[in-house]
Amino acid sequence: MEMLVTKFSNGKYRNEGELFDEPISEENVKLMGEMIALQTLRTLKKYDWKIADKYYIGLIKDLHHMGEIGYIVSDGYDVAQTAICFLYQFIGRKVSDIYGKDRKGKEITIKLACYREVDGELCRYRRKMEKTSYIDFTSYKALPMDPVNCFEHEQTDYSKYDALLEALHITELELAILNCYMNGMRQSEVCAELGIGRGTINFRKNSIRRRYYLCLGKRGIRVIKPQK
């Protein structure tokens, strides 16, 4: 950690002790927050928090590359920003100053209060992660179906169907009746859909059937009985 403090302060501080001995200022509050965030994440990693490990790696990467043009910081830097925003309200004071008392009535420093603020934010992140379901892209079995391919069904050849309708000289009303039955509608539903009576439907069906028999014969034909 001392090496990181030295690097990111351009050699101004040799270790964290020198950094946190100074009063909080606009010049050092960013580095203080980043170091507190790193230390909190390092501590939580010992408890096998997956989220802590993920944020720690992201934050380390951010600190090394965030000065580059076009670089986008990771979610890990949100942890550092939490610490920075907390410390910023104490500009001019030292992190060793007393912040207040905890729930047990024990006095705590600004630095310790900042650690607890970051830790509480991480707990909220963790609860949110536990409630969110993610797809495991490391296993092909977990991958969702390609939304393009799921509609790429083999095209049906309707040429024979069209030729048959032409040979039977199907009228628009007869075609409408056929389509209704092909969609699984009952006779009462066909009547309501087309606004015609049962007698008209039965007459048109029998007319279609006769012409079909004349063209192709009765072999393999299933007679559709009127449905009530």
The domains found in the chain, sorted by start residue, are: 2-134 (no CATH), 159-216 (1.10.10)
Q: What is the pLDDT of residues 60-78, one digit of tens each?
A: 898 888 888 888 888 889 8
pLDDT score at 8? 82
pLDDT score at 85? 94
Q: Which amino acid is at 13?
A: Y
Tokens (6 digits) for 44: 């939580």
pTM as predicted = 0.54
pLDDT over 60 at 24, yes or no: yes
d(CA 43, CA 24): 23
Determine the 3-state secondary structure of 108 from DSSP.
strand
Q: What is the pLDDT of residues 81-140, one digit of tens each?
A: 999 999 999 999 999 999 998 888 889 999 999 999 988 888 777 777 666 555 555 554
pLDDT score at 157? 62
Average pLDDT over the chain, rounded to an integer: 78
pLDDT over 50 at 35, yes or no: yes
Phi, then psi, of 213 in degrees rounded to 5 = -65, -40
d(CA 200, CA 193): 13
Q: What is the pLDDT of residues 184-199, one digit of tens each?
A: 778 887 887 788 888 8
- Reported for 119-128, long-range contacts at CB under 8 A and 24+ positions apart, including other chains, are 119/40, 119/44, 121/78, 121/79, 121/82, 122/40, 122/41, 122/44, 122/49, 122/51, 122/52, 122/55, 122/79, 125/51, 125/55, 126/49, 126/51
Task: Tell me how many degrees the CA angle 137-141-142 measures, rounded to the nearest 5.
Answer: 45
